[in-house]
Structure 1
């Protein structure tokens, strides 16, 4: 789904794996080396797993879920194309209604026919206040959804939400199963039934998810009959298991991917992404809540060095959620590395350097913790580099590692080495990241950033159908982040994947931050064919 750029051909080759943890458990598919379980099977690794496999709770909302389909999907160039709909929607002149004609003959994997009522059920359930879907605000524009017989659906919007069609890649759930149980805790959350190319055959939490080809898939039964996603967080372990033959594919950081560069039996794929790494600056903390500290940190970090040394060129400096190569990027919002100017800002704001080199103001020392997730070397390296740069201007950053279970309760006051990014539309990432209405709502707006000008611009960008007005709105957001950063954006990261060269078909798309289950060279695994020897 989203992607980054690399510096030069070598960087592009190494540019795809920094976050999507790809690893396996000790023989996840029970197979041997060279194609973990045979010519018609594939084993890949992921760093994390979802809490639920229910699209009603947010699973697969960006598409490529493999178990489910949306009304639309993306092709290799990230252009929308029909899936459960037989064509792209008809849109009214005022942009307030989207009408879909559904593909005939589609069945869920249990044999029950798919119908318009399943679409209505899915969207209405997600929008229900009782449904625990953290991405509910993404459908804020929807005023209603109605079935037009068995094979048609019409959405009515509150305002002309320009990227609405992109939202309809959201997977459709079967009402006859999911509608008969508790949406938040029923069996469907771990035993899903969909219309997609694969069926879930097993899920060992923390170890692996196993799938088999859906023989009744409307697009034709996949040639890859068994598909396993193994859950391994550690980058080094992932590389070791790929080399030993336990994995057919893995996402790896550049330094580990380089070790496979001369391996004639494997290929390296580089994916462009919108995936960024940033540091949250919680407003509730007496240090990170000070605008002067935010401004100073924003220009005290050497983003170029992070790209060159931590990513080995597989990425680019980040100055906000929008990559510099995107048509939505606002020129002039790049931040120049300037530690001398950062020191001047802190001096002027009353943060004076103490005998130990750490600044203080009104009895408050300029120190705060920065958490990163255990086992994620890319986040660890970014956290340490950020702390080193901050120290040079008199701010003490104490790096800490932990699981998300440890980190999440601390996010109100403690900084986090976080990430995000979505290529489909600026609204998809920026609204949840920056609107004050979602401050403290789980992983939405983790810094609890509150800026009335940004709030207004985000609404303008979301609710306008005029491309020029939307452009102006997102320009405003990016300029405001220069004046008052709620986050220090560090790098946009390219993703690197190393894959056994035994299939025809693997390819990459532009990728978002979220990856693993739905992205990587296996985004189109249902179309892969074994190479002819």
Structure 2
């Protein structure tokens, strides 16, 4: 027997033993008729991925991809991605966009009984600024408590997207914070931390003193396991929720159904938009590509790749076509959607002078073959599948793509001259700014390796950040994608060929209502439980 298989079996036995121990302590449980799990109507056991690096500390980024659960946030986003109050009853933004004032509720308490005050908010943000948090706080100049329940933030410059960062930042107690806070956190959110067995499980309980609606799920157990192991445990009837992937989602499990969460967890091709002229980045890596720098190549690929076919063949139907980095969000421009049209793609190429002179199946323009490299992370089977499938479709257009898997260390060096199968997707329009603003071109941060630079787009991006009106900002983000003449979508300059949005998949026990989900961001795990306080059993 292979060593890897033995490890999976041993882990599964350990997990099942742990679950049996947990379930033996449950009372008032009803046995599910379809399998062996004792279903308690006010508790849940789930396997949704790995535990967060650094534990459950918002100061270093816990809650970035969903909700901090244990902690409250000043504001939050609802299912429509609108900003609504949480700890803050309301907030105002000054006319110049530089001052944000939050009026806090006075009935919020940490689970140790201490009241949440403005000082805790100030402490949280001041600590986050210096902690190398994965949430960006560089625009925050200073924060102060005007009184016990009023917080004022001063920004270095207007930034309309900062409110979305605020919505992801849980508030920690100044009096109970330490370097080990993430191991045993205290918060004022809908759930109370009970225990964390590292590498095994997290146990939460409903916070009965929560200022909002107390969750119906009184006990929540989150198990940390791979999709393969979770599938085994789900089949054994020991889980209510099990995260899975398209390649495993074909298995039928009695008493459970596949739940598809819509996402902006996208995949696409970055295409260098400047020619190779011997230039290099500050790190010494070559810039530019003589094929992808021709807009006709980029547009032809945009129209000539059948995204629906990619969803069906690579994702087993679990996904949707992608047209931008923000499909379905309030700042998405519906005009950016284009129809698959292979004849239009061929016409674009021919009108631009790309023809197959020697009948070898590859078009040429002068002495330049329509051929380029496409690189992807070699450990990612989905990206590999998408790269190969897109390559096969490009061949029908007369474009040759050479696919190569490699480490991210190697991709770092080659992404300025070669196409990359990349993925993004954030519940914050700041991502649009980072992807396309000219200030990011050539930087080692993956955002603009294609060296895209459009002054009109820059202007929209800068105006969108400066405005204090979210609706006005959304209209400007939409113009970034297409304003009728130019933009970042396939209708404009097409620095990306967006391919698909990957559904997030979960086996969920029948009778469990996971509420109205937000569109999930990049990262398949914690986004599912962002609304955990609304979950309930219906049967």
TM over 0.5: yes
Matches of 1:36 and 1:380, distance apart in 2: 40
> For residues 356 and 465 of structure 1, do their structure 2 counterparts lie closer, same or farther at Cα, with a shift above 3 Å needed?
same
List per-residue Cα deviations over 1:250-283 (Å, max 9, x = no partner).
34456754544xx662244343333322122246
Match in the other structure for 2:464: 461
How far apart are residue 84 of structure 1 and its match? 2.4
Q: Specify the alignment match of 1:280 in structure 2.
A: 270
Shift of the alpha carbon at 1:103?
A: 3.2
Q: Check conservation: 2:263, 2:522, Cα contact below 8 A.
A: no
Give 1:330 shift: 4.6
List gaps (5 residues or longer) in structure 2: 1-9, 21-34, 274-286
How much has 1:499 moved relative to structure 2?
Answer: 0.7
Gapped regions of structure 1 (runs ≥ 5): 1-23, 182-186
SS of 1:146 mapped into structure 2: strand
CA distance in 2, matches of 1:411, 1:59: 30
| 1:144 aligns to 2:148 (yes or no) | no
Are residues 1:507 and 2:515 paired? Answer: yes
Q: How does 1:266-415 map to 2 (within 5 A)?
A: 266-282=256-272, 284-286=287-289, 290-292=293-295, 293-311=297-315, 314-323=318-327, 328-331=332-335, 334=338, 336-338=340-342, 341-342=345-346, 345=349, 348=352, 357-358=361-362, 366-372=371-377, 374=379, 376-377=381-382, 379-401=383-405, 411-415=415-419
Q: 1:111 to 1:289 in 2, by over 3 A?
A: farther
Aligned CA distance change for structure 1 residues 430 and 342 (closer, same or farther; 3 Å): farther
Give the structure with higher Rg (CA).
2
| Pairwise CA distance, 1:221 | 7.3
1:491 pairs, out of 477, 488, 500, with 500
TM alignment of 1:163-182, pairs within 5 A:
164-174=162-172, 176=174
Q: Residue in 2 aligned with 1:210?
A: 202
Larger RCO: 1 or 2 (CA < 8 Å, sep 6+): 1
Tell me: CA distance 1:208–1:393, structure 2 relative to 1, closer, same or farther (3 Å). farther
What's 1:68 paired with? 71
Matching residue within 236, 239, 259 for 1:244? 236
Separation in 2, partners of 1:210, 1:135: 23
- How far 1:368 moved relative to its partner? 0.9
1:519 maps to 527
Give the Cα separation in 2 of the matches to 1:502 and 1:334: 39
CA separation in 1, counterparts of 2:38 and 2:401? 43
The 3-state SS of whatever aligns with 2:269 is: strand
Written as runs of structure 1 = structure 2, the 5 A alignment for 1:17-96 is: 26=12, 28=15, 30-32=18-20, 34-35=36-37, 41-47=43-49, 50-53=52-55, 54-61=57-64, 63-85=66-88, 87-92=89-94, 96=98
Distance 2:533 2:409 in 1: 34
The structure-2 alpha-carbon separation of the partners of 1:81 and 1:349, relative to structure 1 and needing over 3 Å to count, comes to same
The answer as to 2:255 corresponding to 1:265 is yes
CA distance in 2 between counterparts of 1:486 and 1:125 reads: 38
**1:430, distance to aligned residue in structure 2 (A):** 0.8
Instruction: Choose 461-470 or 142-151, whichever is displaced more.
Output: 461-470
Contact 1:25–1:208 (8 Å) recurs in 2? no
Matches within 5 A, 1:154-233: 154-157=152-155, 161-162=159-160, 164-174=162-172, 176=174, 187-188=180-181, 192-196=185-189, 197-199=191-193, 201-202=195-196, 204=198, 207-213=199-205, 218-219=210-211, 220=214, 223-232=217-226
**Residues 301-349 of structure 1 deviation map (CA, whole Å, 9 limit, x = unaligned):** 1123224444565544322123268673152662543366347537846
User: Partners in 1 of 2:126 and 2:92 — Cα distance?
Assistant: 21
What TM-score comes out, normalization by structure 2 length? 0.74
Q: TM-score under structure 1 normalisation?
A: 0.75
CA 126–409 in structure 1, closer or farther in 2 if over 3 Å, else same: farther
Count of aligned pairs between the two proteins: 488
**Contact 1:372/1:383 (<8 A) preserved:** no
The structure-2 alpha-carbon separation of the partners of 1:327 and 1:344, relative to structure 1 and needing over 3 Å to count, comes to closer
The equivalent of 1:429 in structure 2 is 431
Contact kept, 8 Å, 2:264 with 2:522, in 1: the verdict is: no
Tell me the residue number matched to 1:475.
479
Residues 134 and 442 in structure 1, CA contact (< 8 A), matched pair in contact too: no
Cα distance, 1:458 vs structure 2: 0.9
Task: Tell me the residue number matched to 1:132.
Answer: 132
2:420 is equivalent to residue 416 of structure 1 = yes
